[in-house]
Chain A
């Protein structure tokens, strides 16, 4: 979240789209209800289902799954056409005035630079026109035909209310009504927020979808504002923290993984340290060398010296264009290219797409290590034929599966200390309440003892490439079971000589004199102690900022981009809702997202970007600098905007024997997966109360479809996709309205997740149905808007 849960009550308009917080984040949803009660805020819900959030909303608009970009693009068009955008904000805080190079174009579904043979873009024409010093040229009046503003206006001119209705399936009147409320926040004295979740991230065009939302919020002047922002609700207790600590393509703190062509640390820093694109850009990522060197010192300790590039060579490096993401490595596993697999608390058989392929992939492993609280479908994948029964007709008997498997009992949350980062970016420290049951152990002990056991073998026997392994610093007071407080202090960072804990990332050095495990967490454990365990409840701004409760990354800042909530003179757009203002000498309020003592005119408000302002036009994403509506990989209709380029031309799709895609003729219905408030993911099927409250899998389908098929509520139905099937009782509902799309009627079907073949209650895994299709920027799978057939079982 750019803002946070406690900030939502500052909003005048709350758009909930791609999420259902009343059902899935009920305690966070209280802030929505508080905004309605206190500020008379309007709650607008746009969703395929009339869900529990819609039930208490001021306005509900139905839509077809996978058409969010069309809807949001329509809102951008609506705001421009009706002059509802925040003109002064757009000119001051976005790249709307920037000029784009000649040659940039969009036609027939493709941006300029498309290479049809290579199936990728050359992004050369997506760049700014620059002057002799390398700074982008601008037109402050936004009138130049190649200004971002004019290009954006032209791009979304096609997204009229009628075009939106034709794609999304709502009526043009329903769209206009929602648009009038959402775009009412384009005024200085009004703020609107957006709450989203997996309904936005689980598409083959997910990142562009969220880019569209960010563009809309920038046009309306809502980024940086209390009650504004763009807020991912996030689904797991520490999904934010695990993201912050890096996955395949990131080191901790969003430092990019080095690539094979960056042979030395200097090469890496040159490639990854941006240069300012405007004279007033603070360009904070210019400090990348300090963050990277301090991380290498934390990783490699005394083995990291200036002379050896701080042991940079030890970090594994993918090739320039290689991808080691989820879809790619499970596909490689399926082809027999992975020998070993380690899972700390995840269940890919249940939560990954295309379960039949996942089972097959795991059966090709030589060994597998699963660390868990409960036995999961992944741990017992080799027994899926017996346990999963009819859903896996081609899966083999255990006797034919040669995978050696370990299932290790782990401590649960209550049995460990450490910090979870919530959606508001708050690092909240928890303490261990009791030891784990039986012979179960905390993850840090399991991981450390395994790591040290491998290291011992290398020390004794020698072996291939021992340096990266042996030089990794594991020098904790108790290396076999490190104290998480000690680890947290290392993550915060310290001066190596003397050991003083750092106050924040501003004190990091690039000469090897500081170490820091994650620069964005620097400040979380200072000489004053554990900032994450703080329990202060004071709220001096009255805006729900709570600066002394836990600790928020970065720098305990609670509202990201808060400088943008003020105008060129440093005064709040809305005097009654100002997170930050310039008093002539310093910034008052929240921790400034700006240089603390710099005058309002010194720098652009977006200090992390080389532009110094926010990007409406962004060349960073692989499928274009502006978001465009593309259909899901499986779609009931060709794309009404450009039938020949229907789905995202850059979507990641696999083509193995189990990666089949279906067409609308064989699989005419659109399916979405969703969650229920009584369950958490695939965990609470082990818990009695959740299992009692929602014991049964079911399939939600519209009345009109049920009646056409002769299905009544409670009848057992079978849902089939090109990958697999599920079966369960029909829940016939008015909540999913049939939609008129491109002249035809489209039915949508809702399928809750939560069940599997192991648990107190059992049912089919919904991912038996989902396709191996992914967003090309983030690697999220397309769980919302894939095609199925449905019949009475």
Chain B
């Protein structure tokens, strides 16, 4: 490893230096130093993840505070580059290093919203009501406009009046489910960010 030093070695060597302080001053400052030096990540849960921005694919470690006990909602206190990744070796760009602000962000949406036709505002709606309303709209559109056979009488089973986009910001598994969702309904007009 040459002159490099990993985090564990750094902490060990800090502890050795703290020991030296005792002899020089004759007072045991160790508890105070330990308290001052305690890192904000020292009591966190670490989770391996991947940066959601560009496609370099930097691995990140998400530090959450909260011990996964029942009824405790953890919060992200720090996100850093994963030193094990051959891609980023612990580094992140200016966007990646501020990922915590993306996750913990007062602009995040936290409840379903509904805008009635002609309205000039969002109104909160419960998930159950939202699903019921959306399912009804989808079914009505599908029943009214689904094309089982084209003008030549060939079976085509398509729903030309609904379009759908998405996926580039989400995982493979969600993209796969999206493919089942759209083919189930018969949607052909489907695109993702790869066109743009």
Cβ-based interface call for A778 (8 A): yes
**A435-B152 Cα distance, complex, nearest whole Å:** 51
- B175 in contact with A241 (CB, 8 Å): yes
> Which A residue sits closest to B102, measured CB to CB?
A687
B55: min CB distance to chain A, Å = 4
Chain A residues within 8 Å of B45, by CB: 433
Name A245's contact: one of B115, B172, B195 (CB within 8 Å). B172
Name B87's contact: one of A6, A317, A482 (CB within 8 Å). A6
**A457-B133 Cα distance, complex, nearest whole Å:** 12
Given A243-B194, A383-B120, the answer on whether A371 and B62 have CB atoms closer than 8 Å is no
- B85 in contact with A686 (CB, 8 Å): no
A18: min CB distance to chain B, Å = 15
> Which B residue sits closest to A457, measured CB to CB?
B139
B133-185: which residues lie under 8 A (CB-CB) from chain A?
133-139, 141-143, 145-146, 148, 150, 152, 154-181, 183-185
Q: List 12 A-B contacts (CB under 8 A).
A: A233-B54, A234-B55, A236-B193, A242-B175, A329-B189, A339-B145, A343-B165, A352-B196, A409-B110, A433-B64, A449-B131, A484-B171
Chain A residues within 8 Å of B146, by CB: 464-465
**A484-B146 Cα distance, complex, nearest whole Å:** 31
- B55 in contact with A235 (CB, 8 Å): yes
A555: min CB distance to chain B, Å = 16
Given A329-B189, A345-B166, the answer on whether A463 and B158 have CB atoms closer than 8 Å is no
Chain A residues within 8 Å of B41, by CB: none
- B161 in contact with A316 (CB, 8 Å): no
Stretch of A99-107, A420-428, A580-588 that contacts chain B: A420-428
Given A299-B180, A405-B115, the answer on whether A238 and B168 have CB atoms closer than 8 Å is yes
Chain B residues within 8 Å of A245, by CB: 167, 172, 175-176, 178-179
**A245-B183 Cα distance, complex, nearest whole Å:** 13
Name B94's contact: one of A25, A251, A482, A677 (CB within 8 Å). A677
Given A367-B137, A488-B172, the answer on whether A473 and B94 have CB atoms closer than 8 Å is no
Cβ-based interface call for A55 (8 A): no
Chain B residues within 8 Å of A319, by CB: 150, 156
Stretch of B5-13, B30-38, B69-77 that contacts chain A: B69-77
Cβ-based interface call for B29 (8 A): no
Name B184's contact: one of A28, A435, A451 (CB within 8 Å). A451
**A24-B55 Cα distance, complex, nearest whole Å:** 10
Cβ-based interface call for A487 (8 A): yes
- Output the residue of A247, A343, A419 with the most chain B CB within 10 A: A247
- B192 in contact with A242 (CB, 8 Å): yes
**A580-B135 Cα distance, complex, nearest whole Å:** 54
Name B57's contact: one of A367, A420, A456 (CB within 8 Å). A420
> Which A residue sits closest to B52, measured CB to CB?
A413
- A433 in contact with B95 (CB, 8 Å): no
- A420 in contact with B143 (CB, 8 Å): no
A242-268: which residues lie under 8 A (CB-CB) from chain B?
242-248, 251-252, 257, 260-261, 263
Cβ-based interface call for B15 (8 A): no
Chain B residues within 8 Å of A257, by CB: 188
> Which A residue sits closest to B131, measured CB to CB?
A453
Size category of the binding interface on chain A: 35 or more
**A330-B165 Cα distance, complex, nearest whole Å:** 11
**A261-B153 Cα distance, complex, nearest whole Å:** 11
Given A236-B55, A325-B191, the answer on whether A242 and B168 have CB atoms closer than 8 Å is yes
- B188 in contact with A318 (CB, 8 Å): yes
Identify 10 new A-B residue pairs, CB closer than 8 A, beyond the known A443-B174, A447-B181, A456-B135: A373-B109, A398-B118, A399-B118, A403-B117, A407-B109, A433-B74, A464-B148, A472-B183, A473-B180, A760-B107
Cβ-based interface call for A338 (8 A): yes
Cβ-closest 4 pairs across A and B: A422-B57, A438-B110, A418-B171, A344-B166
- A239 in contact with B109 (CB, 8 Å): no
**A536-B182 Cα distance, complex, nearest whole Å:** 37
> Which A residue sits closest to B66, measured CB to CB?
A434
Chain A residues within 8 Å of B165, by CB: 326, 342-344, 346, 348
Contact with B along A97-116 (1 / 0, CB 8 A): 00000000000000000000
Cβ-based interface call for B14 (8 A): no
Cβ-based interface call for A491 (8 A): yes
- B114 in contact with A468 (CB, 8 Å): no
**A240-B160 Cα distance, complex, nearest whole Å:** 26
Cβ-based interface call for A337 (8 A): yes
- A433 in contact with B112 (CB, 8 Å): no
Stretch of A68-76, A174-182, A284-292, A688-696 that contacts chain B: A688-696
- A314 in contact with B180 (CB, 8 Å): no
Chain B residues within 8 Å of A315, by CB: 157, 183
**A549-B89 Cα distance, complex, nearest whole Å:** 13
Given A412-B103, A678-B94, the answer on whether A239 and B193 have CB atoms closer than 8 Å is yes
**A438-B152 Cα distance, complex, nearest whole Å:** 51
A386-418: which residues lie under 8 A (CB-CB) from chain B?
386, 397-410, 412-418
Chain A residues within 8 Å of B177, by CB: 444, 447-448, 482, 487
Given A5-B56, A424-B57, A440-B110, the answer on whether A239 and B192 have CB atoms closer than 8 Å is yes
- A535 in contact with B84 (CB, 8 Å): yes
Cβ-based interface call for A684 (8 A): yes
> Which A residue sits closest to B161, measured CB to CB?
A339
**A259-B181 Cα distance, complex, nearest whole Å:** 20
- A447 in contact with B190 (CB, 8 Å): no
**A556-B93 Cα distance, complex, nearest whole Å:** 27
- B161 in contact with A338 (CB, 8 Å): yes
B98: min CB distance to chain A, Å = 4
Name B52's contact: one of A367, A412, A450 (CB within 8 Å). A412
Contact with B along A505-525 (1 / 0, CB 8 A): 000000000000110010000
> Which B residue sits closest to A202, measured CB to CB?
B196
Name A314's contact: one of B133, B137, B157, B159 (CB within 8 Å). B157
**A52-B56 Cα distance, complex, nearest whole Å:** 18
B100: min CB distance to chain A, Å = 9
Chain A residues within 8 Å of B148, by CB: 464-465
- A423 in contact with B55 (CB, 8 Å): yes
**A316-B53 Cα distance, complex, nearest whole Å:** 33
Chain A residues within 8 Å of B134, by CB: 367, 369, 406, 450, 453
Name B169's contact: one of A237, A366, A398, A424 (CB within 8 Å). A237
- A537 in contact with B84 (CB, 8 Å): yes
**A428-B48 Cα distance, complex, nearest whole Å:** 10
- A434 in contact with B109 (CB, 8 Å): no
- A333 in contact with B163 (CB, 8 Å): yes
> Which A residue sits closest to B59, measured CB to CB?
A428
> Which B residue sits closest to A404, measured CB to CB?
B117
- A416 in contact with B108 (CB, 8 Å): no
**A247-B171 Cα distance, complex, nearest whole Å:** 15
B44: min CB distance to chain A, Å = 10
Cβ-based interface call for A494 (8 A): no
Chain B residues within 8 Å of A375, by CB: 107, 109
**A780-B193 Cα distance, complex, nearest whole Å:** 10
**A207-B32 Cα distance, complex, nearest whole Å:** 64
Given A407-B113, A440-B108, A457-B136, the answer on whether A451 and B181 have CB atoms closer than 8 Å is yes
**A647-B76 Cα distance, complex, nearest whole Å:** 51
- B86 in contact with A546 (CB, 8 Å): yes
Cβ-based interface call for A124 (8 A): no
Chain A residues within 8 Å of B50, by CB: 237, 413, 420, 422, 428, 430
Chain B residues within 8 Å of A781, by CB: 195-196
Given A263-B154, A351-B193, A428-B59, the answer on whether A371 and B86 have CB atoms closer than 8 Å is no
- A432 in contact with B47 (CB, 8 Å): yes
- A409 in contact with B108 (CB, 8 Å): yes
Chain B residues within 8 Å of A252, by CB: 176, 179
Cβ-based interface call for A598 (8 A): no
Cβ-based interface call for A340 (8 A): yes
- B176 in contact with A487 (CB, 8 Å): yes
- A683 in contact with B102 (CB, 8 Å): yes
Chain B residues within 8 Å of A329, by CB: 163, 189, 191
**A82-B122 Cα distance, complex, nearest whole Å:** 66
Chain B residues within 8 Å of A487, by CB: 173, 176-177
- A684 in contact with B57 (CB, 8 Å): no
